[in-house]
Structures are given as structure tokens and as C-alpha cells.
Copies of this chain bind each other. A is one copy, B any other.
Amino acid sequence: MRLAVAREIEVGERRVALIPDTVARLVKKGIEVWVEAGAGESSFFTDTDYETAGAKIVTDTDALWHEADVLLKVGIPKEREDGRLEVDLLREGAVLISFLNPLGEPAIAQRLAQRQVTALSMEMIPRTTRAQSMDALSSQASIAGYKAVLIAAAALPKYFPMLTTAAGTIAPAKVFIMGAGVAGLQAIATARRLGAVVEAFDIRPAVKEEVQSLGAKFVEVQLNEDTVADGGYAKEVSEAAKQRTQEVVAEHIKQSDVVITTAQVPGKKAPILVTEEMVAQMKPGSVVVDIAAEQGGNCACTKPGKDVQYNGVTIIGPINLPSSMPVHASQLYAKNLFSLVQLLIKDSNLDVNFADDIVSAACITHAGEIRNQRVKEALATLSSATAG
């Protein structure tokens, strides 16, 4: 079985699918590993590091893609500089494992099915206990939450911690985290580490205990509807619930030095949690970091990839935060892939076993078919929108 790691061609993507350490583990299991020349460069792993780990360094990109039994990537396959699609470089029957965003960009799934590729989407790994070690959405979201707080602290014109100095006492910064998923929880932990007073809000009351255990205050909003979707993610709620939520959070936003928003709905535009009016109520010098910027943002003032000034408030909409910490982001992602790849191996040979619930859930295309119902629906919506 031959496993290949492609160099990421997306601008700004600094991660790599496998790090030398995981390559060595795979090689030890009797797997042949090819790594595209320069694949680890942006995350500070050299070709020599990979070679030492037992990989073959491949400079011929087309050969790497075409001769792989399993191709590993970080980001969605793209169009290359020469106009060819990366997806089209794979041979029929090959396995592709990567973030594929099949609910947000379902067209890629259609293409993968047409190409007879067996595609496993890292976004579709179920949130079960057995799949935890493969949960790349979580490993990467945690980095986003950590990094968002560092960005906020660096932008804030104040200290985060309370300090007692010869020139008087400095009050701690007030940080409000919106959304207590993996990113939100790591943001809470990081803001607490830096000494801020932290409040957190989530429409799922079940996260209250976790929030409190990290030393943050949980802001409660009473809603009369179900707020948790399958898989433990937050669900999109009704207009009335949004209204009620907005009233409660507006008060907390107003009193905060830093607001970090992390609310994302898989495959959909991010919900607006911080309106322009709420930003206008914030103290000059306050900072909003919007982790959902790439999905349109949780703040009405967010411009993805930009710092926006609004009435003295700085709204930061970072893009691809995990990529800004490429060593650990790649290390964790590689470990996620390693765990998943182990499910696909039997006696050092490739064996895609759909009886395994994780393989079945993650696999979006196989033998010319789209296997996932939600991806089919997303594709149907896309087709009707294009037709309309």
C-alpha cells in the first residue's frame, strides 16, 4: 500500500498532512510513504526530516497523485496553476483523505464521485468516543480558540491580567466568549490563563458545567426549543430565539473589553450574533475576534482577513487560524489521519471497510456514488439554486 502526502497549493496554507514522526510510524507498519518535495517546508519540516523518517521524496507532482493508493491532504483539492484540477490527478479507485467541506462546497463531492475516487472527509468523522483521536475539526478548532485569544490580547490597549503595581492596581480585562464548542472552550482556557475575567455564552445549556470548570461564568438564556443538533454541534435556532438571545448577549458585549465569537453551523453561513448596533455600544478600544470570519462571520462588521475599525472598536476576522500555528496544527492533524488510516489497513493492504461506522460516516464518495445523504441534499440545493 502506497500512501502519498501532497504539498498544499492554497495560498496561506502552511500545514502539512503528515509530519516526519507519523511517517516513521506508518513506515514501521509496512506502508510505503511518498512525500511531495517541499510539502513540510511551511511547517518547518524539511525533506531530509521526512527521508530520515523513511519517506520517499517525490518531485513529480503528477506521479505522486496518480500512483497513490491513499492521498493525504489538509485543504480541499484546488485548481492548479496549469489549469488542471488536483482531483483529476487521482486514478480511479484511489482513496483521498482531507478536509473537503462537502456540505459547504458539495460540487467537489460530485467531481470526486465522477472520478471514482473513494473520498473520506475529515469534517464527517463522527463525534463518538472511538473517533475522538481522528477528530480533526476539534484538534484544529482548539488552535483557533487559543490563537484568537492571543490575537485579542495583542490588539487590546490594556493588560489581560489583574496587576498590583507601585503605580496602582490594574483591573483584569473582561472577555466574553460566544459559543462554547471546542474553539470556545480553548479560548476560555487561554483567556483564563492570561488572567482575564471570562464569561461565556452558548445556546446549548449542557455546556454550562464545562464552561464553569474552566473558571468562566456561564451566561444563561432561557429558550423554549431544542438547540443541539445530531453530533453534538449547535443547531440553527428560530428567529424568536435569536431575538431573545441577542437581548441577553448585547448587555454582556457592552461591558466586555474583548468579545470572541466562535459560532459555526456546518456547511452554512455563520449566524450573526454581534450586530452593528451592539458594536456601536462597545467601549472604544474594545476588540472583537471573529473565528467564524471565513463562514461570513458572527459579527455584522467582520470583513474576513481584515482588521476593521468601527467607532473605536477593532473587529478582527482571521482566516485559517490553525495554519498560523503549523507545527502543532500539522502534528495533531497527522495524528488524526494516522488513527483513521489504521482503520483502512488490513495486513499492510488497503481495505476500506464500510462496516466500520467511522469509515462509513467519513466516506462521502465511493465507486462513482455520493454516499452521504446530507451531501446529496446540499448538492440538490446547489443545483436548484444554480438552475433558479
- Complex interface residues of chain A between 151 and 169 (CB less than 8 A to chain B): 151, 153-154, 156-159, 161, 163, 165-168
Q: With A165-B332, A285-B327 given, is the CB distance from A154 to B157 under 8 Å?
A: no
In whole angstroms, how far apart are the Cα atoms of A234 and B44 in the complex?
A: 36
Partner of A150, one of B153, B312, B329, B331: B153
Contact A167 B44 (CB under 8 A): no
Instruction: Annotate A193-215 by CB proximity to B: 1 below 8 A, 0 otherwise.
Output: 11100000000000000000000
Chain B contacts of A150 at CB under 8 A?
Answer: 150, 153-154
Chain B contacts of A166 at CB under 8 A?
Answer: 132-133, 135, 138-139
Contact A165 B139 (CB under 8 A): yes
Contact B335 A158 (CB under 8 A): no
In whole angstroms, how far apart are the Cα atoms of A147 and B159 in the complex?
A: 9
Closest to A284 in B: B44
Instruction: Annotate A260-303 by CB proximity to B: 1 below 8 A, 0 otherwise.
Output: 00000000000000000000000111000000000000000000
Closest to A286 in B: B44
Contact A156 B336 (CB under 8 A): no
Chain B contacts of A121 at CB under 8 A?
Answer: none
In whole angstroms, how far apart are the Cα atoms of A150 and B160 in the complex?
A: 11
Contact B154 A147 (CB under 8 A): yes
Q: How many residues on chain A are close to B (CB under 8 Å)?
A: 49
Contact A139 B157 (CB under 8 A): no
Partner of A167, one of B43, B146, B332: B332
Chain B contacts of A101 at CB under 8 A?
Answer: none
Instruction: Annotate A51-79 by CB proximity to B: 1 below 8 A, 0 otherwise.
Output: 00000000000000000000000000000
Contact B168 A332 (CB under 8 A): yes
Contact B327 A157 (CB under 8 A): yes
New A-B pairs, 18, CB < 8 Å, besides A136-B167, A150-B150: A14-B157, A43-B285, A46-B284, A135-B167, A143-B159, A147-B154, A150-B153, A151-B154, A157-B325, A157-B327, A158-B325, A167-B335, A167-B339, A168-B331, A168-B335, A170-B331, A190-B194, A194-B194
A-B pairs with beta carbons under 8 Å apart, 18 shown: A44-B157, A44-B283, A44-B284, A44-B312, A135-B166, A136-B167, A146-B159, A147-B154, A150-B150, A150-B154, A154-B154, A157-B324, A157-B328, A157-B329, A158-B327, A159-B325, A190-B194, A193-B195
